[in-house]
Chain A
Amino acid sequence: GAVVSQHPSWVICKSGTSVKIECRSLDFQATTMFWYRQFPKQSLMLMATSNEGSKATYEQGVEKDKFLINHASLTLSTLTVTSAHPEDSSFYICSARVASGYEQYFGPGTRLTVT
């Protein structure tokens, strides 16, 4: 149980374009989902917290107009990187919190490369 999927697993896009990453909880309902980015050999940095049906809460220093988060249902959250630039290249990972508990279960991650 507690399986989270992400799509795509990797994506290459050109500078200036936008890319959408999907995060789904497959066997549970997630009232809260989280988006992280991870640079090589570094730990996870929380970007934003999203609650179903409400606006996401962004961490300090994260541009909300650049990283658009939508949490339209209890099983799906999306992250759209708008007008991507090479410095946005990173490993993006989502997680979902089980409604009845405190643990976060993570997706497999999405490798974004902006050329």
Chain B
Amino acid sequence: EDQVTQSPEALRLQEGESSSLNCSYTVSGLRGLFWYRQDPGKGPEFLFTLYSAGEEKEKERLKATLTKKESFLHITAPKPEDSATYLCAVQASNDYKLSFGAGTTVTVRA
């Protein structure tokens, strides 16, 4: 069974204070690892897909990286508008389903 573990559960940052979120996973044949952002009361918003170890993707202040066992989401110089829950999910090569981690709730204070 696919397992996704995210840490920490919550992260409180000062504006401009860079940090990283971790997503550890076990899956039988990884097709892709996905990062989403979810605001309270809203559906998840797609951020990145990573397909192979060593791959990196960037979007504004966010950068996602992938190894064979984990992924990191780096937030550089965060702003209050980056406050959200960040969800990591994996997709096995034999299916289109996503298995989600519990998420990391990031709060950025001005």
B101: A residues at CB distance < 8 A: 43
Establish whether residues A106 and B45, one from each chain, have CB atoms under 8 Å apart when the complex forms. Answer: yes
> CB-CB contacts of B34-65 with A at 8 A, as 1s and 0s?
10100001111110010000000000000000
> CB-CB contacts of B71-89 with A at 8 A, as 1s and 0s?
0000000000000000100
A25: B residues at CB distance < 8 A: none
Q: Tell whether B91 is near chain A: CB-to-CB under 8 Å.
A: yes
Establish whether residues A102 and B97, one from each chain, have CB atoms under 8 Å apart when the complex forms. Answer: no
CB contacts under 8 Å to A, within B6-42, are 31-32, 34, 36, 41-42
A102: B residues at CB distance < 8 A: 31-32, 49, 91, 96
Query: Shortest Cβ distance from B24 into chain A, in angstroms?
Result: 15
Establish whether residues A103 and B43, one from each chain, have CB atoms under 8 Å apart when the complex forms. Answer: no
Chain B residue at smallest Cβ distance from A49? B97
Establish whether residues A43 and B41, one from each chain, have CB atoms under 8 Å apart when the complex forms. Answer: no
Which listed residue, B34, B49, B97, B103, touches A43 by the CB 8 Å rule? B103
A105: B residues at CB distance < 8 A: 46
Which listed residue, B49, B98, B102, touches A46 by the CB 8 Å rule? B98
B49: A residues at CB distance < 8 A: 102-103
Chain A residue at smallest Cβ distance from B98? A104
CB contacts under 8 Å to B, within A63-115, are 91, 93, 95, 97, 102-109, 111
B→A interface (CB under 8 Å): 31-32, 34, 36, 41-46, 49, 87, 91, 96-103
In the A-B complex, list the 3 residue pairs whose CB atoms are closest, starting with the nearest: A106-B43, A43-B100, A109-B43
